[in-house]
Amino acid sequence: MREGPDIARIASLVGDPARANMLNALMGGTALTASELALEAGVSLPTASSHLSKLMEGGLLTLASQGRHRYYGLASAQVAGMIEAIIGVAEAVGPKRVRPGPRDAAMRVARVCYDHLAGEQAVAMLDRLFDKKLLLRDNEIRLSSAGASHFSALGIDIQAKARRPVCRACLDWSVRRSHLAGTLGAAILDKIIAEKWARREKDSRAVVFSPGGKREFERVFLS
């Protein structure tokens, strides 16, 4: 037996169609119940429970109880990054599903990727942050001193989740270039929603900007 990480075990967990649908449903950053995930996977509740047990044992999910309800979520941003990367590979080389229409187009413009913004708007934002030297790129993405001052002035708290990296590149499946993840990426999405520049589309990962909100987002992050 070869030494090192057991890639096959993780791949087998993600590779089952029902489990893949469950994991994709959790990419919106919202915890879901077993019943909700059963609907997403198109399986019965007992079958969903079996799949969820396997995902829990594999370390891909967390479970939280609130009253009589039990909620499942992705175990970490690292797991979310893996799912996003797999989606990107599937989009590039895999068989294509029939697109459902405008909702899918909206997903390509802006969407939630676990806890941060993804899509065309997010990729454009990261490019602009590099151009303005607010973020620096060598072997990894780093926050510059000018960037720290800039985001502090905007009221963006980048230390709220100190255990995570401040900045991290996440490969965007629709643009096939990186958008911004990490504490800073999550804080920027929090600001977008708090300022009501955009809203989450119901039952979707899509983030829809209002006309005024789009102008404000572009003024703050793309100008």
Domain extent at residue 42: 7-75
Question: How confident is the model at residue 101, as a pLDDT?
Answer: 46
Q: 30-68: per-residue pLDDT in tens?
A: 889 999 999 999 999 999 999 999 999 999 999 998 888
- Asked whether residue 83 is domain-assigned, the answer is yes
The total domain count for the chain is 2
pTM given for the model: 0.77
CATH code of residue 60: 1.10.10.10
Question: How confident is the model at residue 7, as a pLDDT?
Answer: 87
Q: Which of 84, 30, 20 minimizes the C-alpha distance to 200?
A: 30
Q: 141-181: per-residue pLDDT in tens?
A: 999 999 999 999 999 877 655 577 899 899 888 888 899 99
Same domain, 27 and 66: yes
Q: Which residue has the higher pLDDT, 21 or 93?
A: 21
Same domain, 69 and 158: no
Residue 47's contacts (CB-CB under 8 Å, 6 or more residues apart) are 18, 38, 41
Distance, first Cα to last Cα, the chain: 54
- Asked whether residue 1 is domain-assigned, the answer is no
Domain boundary among 58, 75, 92: 75
Domain boundary among 75, 95, 124: 75
Same domain, 89 and 197: yes
Q: 94-114: per-residue pLDDT in tens?
A: 666 555 444 578 888 999 998
Same domain, 110 and 134: yes
Question: How confident is the model at residue 26, as a pLDDT?
Answer: 93
Question: How confident is the model at residue 100, as a pLDDT?
Answer: 47
